[in-house]
Amino acid sequence: MARRPLEGVPGLRAIAADLLDPASLPTALTDVAPTHVFITAWMRQATEAENIRVNGAMLRHVSLVTGLKHYLGPFEACASAVTLPKTPLREEQPRLAIENFYDEQKDEVFAAAARDSFSWNVHRPHTVVGEAVGHAMNMGTTPPSIP
């Protein structure tokens, strides 16, 4: 995706879009379902203050993917009756009273959003399935154990 994308590159679907024109993005991204997004562009401005304003405007939303440990805590605490939350699990439940690296990630995103005026959301899926060869946490590609 670029304001003036390259055409004719094998294996590349060129999409013309301008991140500085958010109203144009829904049309430009119709029928687009990216699996990865890498922001690698910047627009040179006359001053650093303008660089910050213009390039910062291109990034206005962060989606943080955490998971079930948000509700149950780290692996070593999951089976502990002391840390199990009240069920059913609800968005408005307070943080668990144990350390959880998800809390630090959320705090960083929330602080940055307040400071830099972007929107955010947090996804808490029970399971994430994707390509992660050799990673036992991915149930979609983890081979079954053989007795």
Residues with active-site annotation: 69, 102
Tell me if 18 sits within 8 A of 78, measured CB to CB: no
Which residue in this structure is represented by tokens 């350390």?
99
Which residue in this structure is represented by tokens 């149930």?
139
**How does DSSP assign the chain, residue by residue?**
-BSS-----TT----B--TT-GGGHHHHTTT---S----------SSHHHHHHHHHHT--EEEEE--THHHH-SHHHHT-TTTPPPSS--TTPPPPSS--HHHHHHHHHHHHHHHHT-EEEEE--S---S--TT-TT-TTTPPPP--
